[in-house]
Amino acid sequence: MKDTFVTYIRSLQDSITKALEQEDGKALFHEDHWKRPEGGGGRTRVIQNGNVFEKGGVNISEVHGTLPESMQAYLGVQDSNFFACGLSLVLHPTNPFVPTVHANWRYFELYDKAGNISAQWFGGGQDLTPYYLFEEDNVHFHQVCKSVCDRHGPTLYANYKKQCDAYFYNAHRGEARGIGGLFFDHLKVTQAKSMDDWYRFVSDVGDSFLQAYLPIVKKRKDLPYSEAKKTWQEIRRGRYVEFNLVHDKGTLFGLRTNGRIESILMSLPPTVQWRYDHHPEPGSEEEKLVHVLKTPRDWA
């Protein structure tokens, strides 16, 4: 399974970066290959200062070795080796009417002292972080997510949408990071699903990403905007940074397993503001967004 999924994410990285370069029309992805001293490595691709994308990354990694004690305690295992691979992407557009997007699809294996697989699972998802509320965009994104889930089970979308709302939540702010999407973790063998079944589901979600996101980009990328709207985007980006540094499990895993710092933190936007005690104007489009972030909705 790990060989199958590694082959998949390498191909997916190629198809996504090619489509994003075509959409941007100016900037190209810069590629770095890196090695992890303890085992494994990755291929980082970053785009910057384009016509559409101010900064973005589409990264794959394949790492293995002894699981650090902190992660053993977190996962409830002892004396375990691990293998982890995945694709992670974040795109921060220039235009504040185009939402930031994040996606991740990953696979883990844990091994006992004899080298046998003791646990294996998939995880991942995709979620949208708008700065201005275009309800039809949110419906489109969620409807793509739901359509994929419905091909693999009638309850998957409702479950993983709920998990996404719960996970991408800045508890210290009392608000969601964005309008959600899908989030799933520890997809293991059950009576109903084999690992092959879960692979087909996760790869189907990965294949749906461009369909979910690019139509929104095309619709909003050329809308005119003011400096005030750019300022609002940078203030909201501050909340994005807070989540990634305070709550995000992927960031935590990367830092605790001696991952490549530049690749782990590529998710951070290039320009950001923290205004003291900032509140949007009552009745404004900005306040409308904040209200939705405090009260998750069923978009599909």
Kindly list the domain boundaries of the chain, sorted by start residue: 2-294
Region 264-269: what's the mean pLDDT?
A: 85
The kind and range of the H/E element at 91 are: strand 81-93
Q: Which residues contact 86 (CB under 8 A, 6 or more apart)?
A: 9, 60, 61, 104, 105, 106, 107, 123, 124
Cβ partners under 8 Å of residue 224, min gap 6: none
pLDDT of residue 236: 97
**Residue range 36-78, pLDDT digits in tens:** 898 999 999 999 999 999 999 999 999 999 877 767 767 777 7
* Residue 51 burial by Cβ neighbours in a 10 Å radius (0-12, 13-18, 19+): middle
Phi/psi for 233 (5° steps) reads: -60, -45
For the record, the structure tokens of 189 come out as 């063998």
Q: At CA 172, angle to CA 178 and CA 254, rounded to 5?
A: 70
pLDDT exceeds cutoff 80 at 12: yes
Nearest partner of 57 among 27, 96, 95, 97, judged by Cα: 27
Q: Identify the H or E element spanning 180.
A: strand 180-187
- Architecture in CATH of 2-294: 3-Layer(aba) Sandwich (3.40)
Is 102 a catalytic site residue? yes
Query: Quick one: pLDDT band at residue 103, thresholds 50, 70, 90?
Result: very high
Which residue has tokens 């972080």?
A: 129
Give the CA distances from residue 167 to residues 171, 178, 244, 266, in Å, rounded to whole numbers and listed in that order: 10, 11, 11, 20
Could you tell me how many residues make up the chain? 300
The tally of CA atoms less than 13 A away on the side-chain side of residue 294 is 9
* Amino acid at site 204: D
69-70-72-74 Cα dihedral, nearest 10 degrees? 170
Tokens 């479950």 map to which residue?
159
Q: Which two tokens stand for residue 168?
A: 């991408």
Q: What's the pLDDT band for 283 if we cut at 50, 70, 90? A: very high
Angle at the Cα of 180 (from 90 to 28), degrees rounded to 5?
Answer: 20
pTM of the model: 0.94
Residue of 64, 102, 140, 142 with catalytic role: 102
Predicted confidence at residue 71, as pLDDT, reads 72
In the chain, the percentage of residues whose pLDDT exceeds 70 is 99
**CA trace torsion 157, 163, 167, 172 (10° rounding):** 120
